[in-house]
Each structure stands twice: as structure tokens, then as C-alpha cells.
């Protein structure tokens, strides 16, 4: 047998074995990744459980806690100033707010960013008809305690401080609530 043929066959087998090892390593790595954030189900508060207490501030620096809303049904809408879907949602929430209020539910925006960024957003969008709370993730556990892993996110707390509903705004439950509120004609104050 010719020496070049033997060397060529040996090199070919080395390349084949190297490719096999790389393929097996790639398969092992892909299996170890687990579900991606897009496929992993979002954690949510259980309906009926007591809502977690929180501390947040208004844009004027007034401290607000869950007990500040005692005896009222409140829809907290967690937003972030740099979030495009949040900015698209705000006009809808502003339209729904008086209708929800006529159904005894107050919509509250909760910014998970700092006060300065939140003030800028409020100015840019002309938000004056919906209360805004500031609870930056860096200093507040409000969003984490309410399982607001993404923005926009909502959580409705009933009159007894229990979770009525929570999740993403595209959920069937939120859409059903919004449709109900849209049928309400608010009475002039």
C-alpha cells in the first residue's frame, strides 16, 4: 500500500472522529440549555391569595402601600419607560380608566424605573388622568413580589386585598375585563 494513501486515510479518520466529537458536544450542550424565556411559563400570583404588601412613591414623593387602597379594587399596570409595548398600551389604559372606575376598579400605572425616567414618560405622553407610582427594581421589590417579570404586566387586587387577576395584557382574562369595561358609559362627575 502506498504511504500517501495510508496517511490520507489516517487523516480522514481523524477528521471524521473530530467531527463526531464536536457533534456530540453540541447535542449535549443544546440538551442542557433547557427552556428559553419565551417558552418557559411565567410565574404568576395565585388568584384569591392575599396580595403582597408593597411600598412605592407617587411622582410627588408620597409613600404609598397596599393599605393605601384598602377597600378598593385596583388594577396595577407595571410599565417601564423604555418599553415600546408599554408606551403603546398607555393610551388604551387611559381610555379604559374612567370606564373601569365606573365599575369600581382604579387603574394605577406602576413604573419599574426611576422617578426621573418616569416623569419624562409622563410628560411625553401627557399622562395626568391615571395615578402613577414609582417602584424602581433596584430599590423596590414591588414588581418582583407581584411576579411582574415582564412589562407590561398587570395585577388586579380586589377590595379584600386578594389577587383577582394577573398576567400579560394579551391574556384572555384581561381582554375580557377590558371588553366589559368598554361597555360601561361613565357618568359625568
The dihedral region occupied by 61, where left means phi > 0, alpha psi between -120 and 50, and beta the remainder, is: left
The verdict on 72 and 149 lying in the same domain is yes
Q: Are residues 156 and 84 in the same domain?
A: yes
Residue 73 lies in a domain: yes
Q: Are residues 108 and 62 in the same domain?
A: yes
Residue 115 CB coordination number (10 Å): 16
Q: Is 42 a domain residue?
A: no
| Cβ neighbours around 101 below 10 Å, total | 16
User: Do 1 and 85 share a structural domain?
Assistant: no
The pLDDT tens digits for 21-74 are: 888 888 877 776 655 445 556 789 999 999 999 999 999 999 999 999 989 999
Rounded to whole angstroms, how far apart are CA atoms 76 and 107? 6
3-state DSSP: the chain helix, strand, coil percent, rounded to 5? 40, 20, 40
Full domain range(s) for residue 115:
55-182
pLDDT in tens, 136-161: 999 999 999 999 989 999 999 999 99
Return d(Cα 79, Cα 56) in angstroms, integer.
14
Q: Which residue in the block uniquely carries the three cell numbers 472522529?
A: 17
Cite the DSSP H helix spans in the chain. 3-33, 84-102, 115-125, 142-145, 172-182
**In this structure, is residue 45 part of a structural domain?**
no
CATH of the domain at 177: 3.40.30.10
Number of structural domains the chain divides into: 2
Number of CB atoms found within 10 A of residue 74's CB = 21
pTM, two decimal places: 0.77
Separation CA 39–CA 41 (nearest Å): 6
Amino acid at each position: 500500500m502506498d504511504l500517501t494513501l495510508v496517511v490520507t486515510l489516517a487523516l480522514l479518520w481523524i477528521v471524521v472522529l473530530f467531527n463526531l466529537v464536536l457533534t456530540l458536544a453540541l447535542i449535549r450542550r443544546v440538551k442542557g440549555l433547557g427552556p428559553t424565556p419565551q417558552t418557559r411559563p411565567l410565574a404568576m400570583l395565585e388568584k384569591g391569595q392575599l396580595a403582597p404588601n408593597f411600598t412605592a412613591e407617587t411622582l410627588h414623593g408620597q409613600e404609598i402601600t397596599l393599605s393605601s387602597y384598602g377597600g378598593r379594587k385596583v388594577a396595577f399596570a407595571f410599565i417601564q419607560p423604555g418599553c415600546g409595548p408599554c408606551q403603546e398600551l398607555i393610551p388604551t389604559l387611559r381610555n379604559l380608566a374612567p370606564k373601569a372606575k365606573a365599575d369600581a376598579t382604579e387603574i394605577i400605572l406602576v413604573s419599574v424605573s426611576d422617578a426621573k425616567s418616569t416623569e419624562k414618560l409622563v410628560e411625553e405622553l401627557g399622562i395626568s388622568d391615571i395615578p402613577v407610582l414609582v417602584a424602581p427594581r433596584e430599590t423596590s421589590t414591588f414588581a418582583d413580589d407581584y411576579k411582574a417579570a415582564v412589562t407590561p404586566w398587570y395585577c388586579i387586587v380586589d377590595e379584600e386585598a386578594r389577587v383577582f387577576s394577573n398576567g400579560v395584557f394579551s391574556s384572555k382574562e384581561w381582554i375580557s375585563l377590558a371588553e366589559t369595561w368598554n361597555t360601561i358609559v361613565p357618568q359625568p362627575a
